[in-house]
Amino acid sequence: MTTGWCEAPKSESTLQVLHWWTSDSERKAATLLAGRLADEGVYWQDVAIPGGAGLGAGKVLKSRILSGNAPAVTQAIGISIRDWDDLGFLLELDKVANDNKWNTSFFPTVLALIQPRKHVVAAPLGIHRINTLFYNRKILTALKLSPPENWDDMVVVAAKLKTAGIVPLAQSNESWQVTALFENLILAESGPAYHRELFVKQSVQAVLDHRLIEALERLRIMKSWMNAPVEEKTWPNVVRQFANREAAMMIMGDWAKGELNGMGYPTDDEFSCAAMPGTGKYHLYSVDTLSMFATNFQRGPAQEKLARLVATPSLQTDYNAIKGSVSVRRDADPARMDSCARASWSKFAEGVSVQAPSLVHRMATDESTRDAIIVVIHHFFIDDTVTAAETQKKLAAIFHTFNINNRQ
C-alpha cells in the first residue's frame, strides 16, 4: 500500500521509499524522518510493506526491480547491500560521506557494511541489539527474583514463575522470531567467534560441534516456558502480550523497547532491559540503512539530501530514541540515552571482538543460506518429534551444499 505524507510539486523532489516499518513506533520514527526531509524540500512517498524482518519487503523489492520499477530509496540491511551493489543498482554516496566525515564519525563495523566494495552505497540509521532480555520489574520483584544473568539463573527464574502461575516467556512461533531466539542461544553458549564460524563462514565443522546440539536442546526447554501451544504472532503482538503482563519476560531486539515506550511504558518503570542471559559481554547486532537506486539521476540531489540527513547527530538522537535502536555515530552522547540504549551503544563501541552479526537480520550471510537455516530451525521448534541430532545433520547438509556451490 502506498501513502504519502506530502504531495510534492516536482517529481525529482519526491522520493518513493520502500521499507517494512509498520508497527506504531516504527511508523512514528519514519514520520519523524519524513518530516525532517520535508523541511529540506524533499518529499517522502511512503511504501510500507508489512512483515517482520523484512520478509515481504524483500520479495516486493525484487519484483519491482525485475519489472524495471525500482523505488528511489529502499530500506536495506546487511549482505543485501553488497548484493544490490554487485549488480550495479545503487547510487554511490562517496561525496556525501566525504563531506560529512563519515569515515571518522561512524563505527568501523558500520563503515564496512555501507561500503562493501570501494564506494559508499548506503546511509546508516541505527544499530539494534538483538540479544535483549525484557523483564517485568514488578512481577520479578513481587516474587523476590532477580533478572537472570546466565542459563542456570534462567532455569531457576522460569521454574519459580511457572510455580506462581505466570508464563515465563512471551514468544511467537513465527519462523524468523524462533530463529532469532536460537541464534541468541548460540551466542550465549559459545560467544561471537563460534557464532561467526557457524553463520558467517558456514563451517560444516562448526555445525557438527556439540555446542549446536546444546543450543537446540535449550531451545526446546525454553519452549516449555511459553504459552502452549506457541501461537504465530507478529512481533508487536508478542510485545503486547508482555506489556499486558501475560508473560514475565521476552527476548527480542530492542525495537521492542520503542514499541513499549510508545504504548506508555517508560524504560525502567514497568519493565527494564538486560542482555540475553549468557550474552552480557556480547552484542548481537543489526544495522538499519537506506540505499538509493541509481535509476533516475535527476533525483540524485534529493537522494543525497536524505543520505546526509539520516547521519546528522540530531536526527540520529531523535530517530533512535523512538525506534529503540542506538546511534551509528561514535560521538553520540550516552548521557542522553536510557539505560537500555546506553548499554547497547557502549557494548557495540567495544569493537568487533564482542560483536556478532545477526543471521536472521541478514548481517551474517546471504539470503538463500539464511532462509534455509530458518526453515530447519523452525521445523525443529514446531515439531517435537524432530531430534536435535537430526536437525544438526540437516544443517550440515545445507552448509556442505552451499560450500560446494560457492567454490564452483
Per-residue confidence (pLDDT) for residue 57, from 0 to 100: 82
Per-residue confidence (pLDDT) for residue 403, from 0 to 100: 74
Counting Cβ atoms within 10 Å, is residue 235 exposed (0-12), middle (13-18) or buried (19+)? buried
Q: Above 70 in pLDDT, residue 5?
A: no
Per-residue confidence (pLDDT) for residue 289, from 0 to 100: 96
Per-residue confidence (pLDDT) for residue 402, from 0 to 100: 79
The mean pLDDT value for 173-183 works out to: 97
Residue-wise pLDDT for 268-296, tens only, equals 999 999 999 999 999 999 999 999 999 88
CA distance 170 to 163: 17
* Residues facing residue 4 across a β-bridge: 45
* Entry pTM: 0.94
Q: What percent of the chain has pLDDT over 90?
A: 85
Q: Above 60 in pLDDT, residue 9?
A: no
Beta strand 2-4 pairing with 43-48: antiparallel
Per-residue confidence (pLDDT) for residue 295, from 0 to 100: 86
The mean pLDDT value for 14-30 works out to: 95
Q: Above 60 in pLDDT, residue 155?
A: yes
Architecture of domain 132-284+353-357 in this structure = 3-Layer(aba) Sandwich (3.40)
Of 391, 362, 360, which is closest to residue 177 (Cα–Cα)? Answer: 360
Kindly report the number of other CB atoms within 10 A of residue 87's CB atom. 9
Per-residue confidence (pLDDT) for residue 53, from 0 to 100: 61
Q: Which residues contact 44 (CB under 8 A, 6 or more apart)?
A: 4, 5, 6, 15, 17, 30, 33, 34, 37, 38
Q: Above 80 in pLDDT, residue 27?
A: yes
Homologous superfamily (CATH) of 2-128+287-348 is Periplasmic binding protein-like II (3.40.190.10)
The mean pLDDT value for 212-225 works out to: 98
Q: Above 80 in pLDDT, residue 121?
A: yes
The mean pLDDT value for 190-197 works out to: 96
Residue-wise pLDDT for 381-408, tens only, equals 999 999 999 999 999 999 998 775 555 4
DSSP string of 80-142, one letter each residue: HHHHHHHTT-BPP-HHHHHHTTHHHHB-HHHHHHH-SSSS---EEEEEEES-EEEEEHHHHHH
The mean pLDDT value for 107-113 works out to: 97
Q: Above 50 in pLDDT, residue 32?
A: yes
The mean pLDDT value for 200-204 works out to: 95
The mean pLDDT value for 239-254 works out to: 97
C-alpha triplet 265, 360, 45: angle, nearest 5°: 70
Residue-wise pLDDT for 349-380, tens only, equals 999 999 999 999 999 998 889 999 999 999 99
Per-residue confidence (pLDDT) for residue 405, from 0 to 100: 53
Per-residue confidence (pLDDT) for residue 4, from 0 to 100: 45
Residue intervals in the chain for CATH 3.40.190.10: 2-128+287-348, 132-284+353-357
Counting Cβ atoms within 10 Å, is residue 312 exposed (0-12), middle (13-18) or buried (19+)? middle
pLDDT classification of 40: cutoffs 50, 70, 90: very high
Kindly report the number of other CB atoms within 10 A of residue 396's CB atom. 17
Q: Please provide the average confidence, as pLDDT, over all residues in the chain.
A: 93
The mean pLDDT value for 176-204 works out to: 96
- C-alpha cell of residue 96: 556525501
The mean pLDDT value for 54-65 works out to: 81
Q: What percent of the chain has pLDDT over 70?
A: 95
Q: Which residues contact 209 (CB under 8 A, 6 or more apart)?
A: 194
pLDDT classification of 62: cutoffs 50, 70, 90: confident
CA distance 133 to 314: 28
The mean pLDDT value for 91-120 works out to: 96
Per-residue confidence (pLDDT) for residue 316, from 0 to 100: 97
Q: Above 80 in pLDDT, residue 7?
A: no
pLDDT classification of 164: cutoffs 50, 70, 90: very high
